[in-house]
Amino acid sequence: MRSSEGALGTRRTAVLGRSSHSRAKLDVDRPNPGRVYDWFLGGNSNWAIDRVFGQRLLGMWPQAAGVARQNRSFMQRVVTDALDAGIHQFLDLGSGIPTMGNVHEILQLRTSEPVRVVYVECDPVAAAHTRAYLQHTDWAGVTQADLLNWREVLADVTTQRLLDLDQPVCLLAVSALQFVGPDDNIADVLRRYGSELAPGSRIALSHFASDVPDPLSRAAMERFRTAYGAIKPVWLRDRGTITDWFDGLGDQWTLLNPGVAQLPDWCPDLIAHPKATAQAETERPYAWCGVAAHDN
Ligand SMILES: C[S@@+](CC[C@H](N)C(=O)[O-])C[C@H]1O[C@@H](n2cnc3c(N)ncnc32)[C@H](O)[C@@H]1O
């Protein structure tokens, strides 16, 4: 069991930072989605309350941590592939806590060329962790906003400072859109982002699956979903819905091979998280992912 309490220390009430968002008192008496996810990934930015909640979730759906690692591996392959395609700017919607090989860390490993990263988080706890981690990194920053507010995200001072929207951007929404409910029009939001991005850009996303074939596996995931709802509602969607989102981007966008796929199947040769590779088979059916490119 990990014991570190992460970048923000051990106080039960944290009051942080400079911006109006971060002056708010943070609720540290409840498990936090970003910190639970960090624990699933094997990170240190989580507290006892997150670990207890995470253990309870794993009791219901033992694959949850492995699927988180699969998502992380997918994201790293997408970033690597985008770099290879000459993209140096990254907009990460629903970024969580940027540790355990997150976007700016994989970029540091993969290139010495100038790159830019904007993390977008609505959760004040995850945003505060991100600010703390990035305080000495001038080429990456966090925009605290709801990803659905695409205008606000793109006009935010941090986004504007770091990204040149006239140049290609790789937009990531990895394991984030499953927290957006049916009352919000995800297809339209993606289309809006897509229309603001320059030729050569990419949009990558992954999402929990509703169309898991095995009924027992589906039931386990459903128990997880219900319990997780105590801290944040989660929605599951099928392959057809994810495919429709990509189709809705418009004619200028092309879905890259292998199309909408299960996480281990998206360009597995690029790089792989060792644990993710070993457990790929048992975790395969639980999420869909894909990447579209804006034609040059
Ligand atoms: C499961 S974590 C995924 C983190 C990261 N993308 C990754 O793949 O490791 C999902 C994150 O999305 C954030 N999130 C959920 N809904 C959001 C919204 N509407 N706007 C911005 N962030 C959101 C949550 O706060 C959470 O930190």
> How confident is the model over 183-236, as pLDDT tens digits?
999 999 999 999 999 999 999 999 999 999 999 999 999 999 999 999 999 999
pLDDT score of 5 more than 60: no
Task: Determine the distance separating the centroid of ligand 1 and the alpha carbon of 21, expressed in angstroms.
Answer: 17
pLDDT score of 13 more than 70: no
With a 6 Å cutoff on the Cβ, whether 38 touches ligand 1 is no
Tell which one of 36, 37, 67, 206 to mutate to probe ligand 1, the residue whose CB is within 8 A of the most ligand atoms: 37
Q: Which residues contact 90 (CB under 8 A, 6 or more apart)?
A: 79, 82, 103, 107, 115, 116, 117, 118, 169, 170, 171, 172
Residue 244: Cβ-neighbour burial (10 angstroms; 0-12, 13-18, 19+): middle
Q: Cα(162)–Cα(195) distance, rounded to whole angstroms?
A: 19
Quick one: average pLDDT of 123-140?
A: 94
Task: Determine the distance separating the centroid of ligand 1 and the alpha carbon of 173, expressed in angstroms.
Answer: 8
**Where is pLDDT greater, at 283 or 191?**
191
The secondary structure of 187-232 as a DSSP string is HHHHHHHHHHSPTT-EEEEEEEBS--SSHHHHHHHHHHHHHHTTTS
Q: Fill in the amino acid letter for 54.
A: G
Contact between 127 and 26 (Cβ < 8 Å): no
64-212+237-294 placed in CATH 3.30.460.80: no
| Nearest-CA residue for atom 1 of ligand 1 | 175
**Which of the four pLDDT bands, split at 50, 70 and 90, describes residue 29?**
confident
With a 6 Å cutoff on the Cβ, whether 176 touches ligand 1 is yes
Helical axes 103-110 vs 64-84, angle rounded to 10°: 50
Cα Rg of the chain (Å, integer): 18
Q: Mind listing the pLDDT tens digit for each residue in 62-74?
A: 999 999 999 999 9
Fill in the DSSP letter of residue 112: -
- Here the tokens at position 222 are 């459903």
With a 6 Å cutoff on the Cβ, whether 79 touches ligand 1 is no
Fill in the DSSP letter of residue 101: S
Task: Determine the distance separating the centroid of ligand 1 and the alpha carbon of 269, expressed in angstroms.
Answer: 26
Query: 3-class SS at 74?
Result: helix
Which residue in the block uniquely carries the two structure tokens 């290609």? 168
Q: Mind listing the pLDDT tens digit for each residue in 238-274?
A: 999 999 999 999 999 999 999 999 999 998 887 765 5
CA geometry: angle 70, 74, 80, nearest 5 deg = 145
Tell which one of 105, 106, 118, 123 to mutate to probe ligand 1, the residue whose CB is within 8 A of the most ligand atoms: 123
| Nearest-CA residue for atom 23 of ligand 1 | 94
| Nearest-CA residue for atom 14 of ligand 1 | 94
Q: What is the pTM of this model?
A: 0.91
| Nearest-CA residue for atom 9 of ligand 1 | 72
pLDDT score of 21 more than 80: no
Contact between 273 and 73 (Cβ < 8 Å): yes
With a 6 Å cutoff on the Cβ, whether 175 touches ligand 1 is yes
The domain locations on the chain are 64-212+237-294
With a 6 Å cutoff on the Cβ, whether 33 touches ligand 1 is yes
The secondary structure of 158-182 as a DSSP string is HHHHH--TTS--EEEEET-GGGS-T
pLDDT score of 100 more than 80: yes
Contact between 129 and 50 (Cβ < 8 Å): no
Tell which one of 179, 203, 234 to mutate to probe ligand 1, the residue whose CB is within 8 A of the most ligand atoms: 179
With a 6 Å cutoff on the Cβ, whether 101 touches ligand 1 is no
Q: Cα(296)–Cα(201) distance, rounded to whole angstroms?
A: 9
Task: Determine the distance separating the centroid of ligand 1 and the alpha carbon of 199, expressed in angstroms.
Answer: 26
